Structure 1
Amino acid sequence: WAMPVQRPYNPNARRMAEVMQGDFAKAGVDVEIVSYEWGEYLKRSKEVDRDGAVLLGWTGDNGDPDNFLAVLLGCDGVGGSNRAQWCNAEFEDLIQKAKVTADVAERTKLYEQAQVVFKREAPWATIAHSVVSEPVSVKVENYKIDPFGGHIFYGVDLK
């Protein structure tokens, strides 16, 4: 499935799907690319019995690993934000322990272990990580790039 819209993490999902289709063809696998209107795409992509793989991405808003790993891969997200419909007991145990652990080193270790399980089981194909940059005059002070793509000028000033 190719998204019908541009997103900060994927400016051309149709082209990405075509590249993937070509790679699958080299392996002898025929792949059909489909798309739907954005609202329909999102709705259908949540269906547990959906036919086909879905191209999607994520823009985290708080920098915490839980905002990615639990939301997109946790068992509670099946039928919702967990589009892979993947629920793995080992992974779930690690992220649930990490979620309630205040010790940063222990939390880091648990999330790293969860990532090892994720990569081993491969419920997704991780494709890209976007790097966002914005040209800003050297005269601008205190401007920070908004993770959601907005332009927040609170606290911004000019030299």
Structure 2
Amino acid sequence: MSPLQWSYDKTLQDAPRDLKQAKALLTQASYPNGFEIALWTPPYRSYNPNPRLMAEMIQADWEKMGVKAKIVAYEWGEYVKRAAKGEHDALTIGIVSNVPDPDNWLKVSSCTEIGSSFNFSRWCNPSFDDLIQRAAQTLDIAERTRLYTQAQKVFKREQPFTPIAYATDYQVINKRVTGFKINPLGPTIFSGVGLK
């Protein structure tokens, strides 16, 4: 979930990058010499203007621990169709939200979205689903935030996929423009905008 989204849990921390520990875990999983994997990358997307470069950076990081990634690319329609069927080993993908609600970010990881949306990891956790469903059914923002925070903890503990980056929007405007704010979740809003 984007750090700009209300109810984002700022207390969650990523595990430290530890090459020695990664190699030890591979050995423990019976891959002491690593393994080969296909890493899918989509064509240009608005949230990632150079997905091939990102895949190459991941490929280089994985190679350090013995995982050899072959980068695979498809045109967008084919990419999404094959990913929804679960044909990939690993892939990169993004999401752009134009709805300022945490449910829009979290629901894509629910059990009900496997094969029909962007739950390409095919992860299913009933307690996660229960938390986001209960949150979506209440109007109390404090209670929704509490439930969404718990759901984020479940997600972080199981880490079905790894968020890499969040796009930042910039807008060039004339210094005479007043009241303009960038909407990080969608279209440009001109309500309250004026000139001085």
Return the TM-score normalized by structure 2.
0.72
Deviations 1:50-93, CA, capped at 9 Å, x for gaps: 122121111111210001101x1011211022111111111011
Alignment match, 1:7:
46
1:21 aligns with 2:59: yes
Q: Is the 8 A contact 2:128 2:154 kept in 1?
A: yes
Following TM superposition, by how much is the alpha carbon of 1:157 offset from its aligned partner in structure 2, in angstroms? 4.1
**Aligned counterpart in structure 1 of residue 109 of structure 2, from 73, 87, 91:** 73
Alignment match, 1:109:
146
Rounded to whole Å, the distance in 1 between the matches of 2:42 and 2:139 is: 38
Consecutive unaligned residues of structure 2, counting only runs of 5 or more, are: 1-39
Q: Which has the higher contact order (CA 8 A, sep 6+)?
A: 2
1:100 aligns with 2:137: yes
Return the TM-score normalized by structure 1.
0.88
Alignment match, 2:80:
42
- Larger strand fraction of residues: 2
Alignment match, 1:140:
177
Residues 1:148 and 1:66: Cα distance change in structure 2 (over 3 Å)? closer
Following TM superposition, by how much is the alpha carbon of 1:99 offset from its aligned partner in structure 2, in angstroms? 0.8
Percent of aligned pairs with the same amino acid: 47
Alignment match, 1:126:
163
**Aligned-CA RMSD value:** 1.9
Following TM superposition, by how much is the alpha carbon of 1:146 offset from its aligned partner in structure 2, in angstroms? 5.0
Rounded to whole Å, the distance in 2 between the matches of 1:102 and 1:152 is: 25
Consecutive unaligned residues of structure 1, counting only runs of 5 or more, are: none
Rounded to whole Å, the distance in 1 between the matches of 2:153 and 2:190 is: 39
Alignment match, 1:87:
124
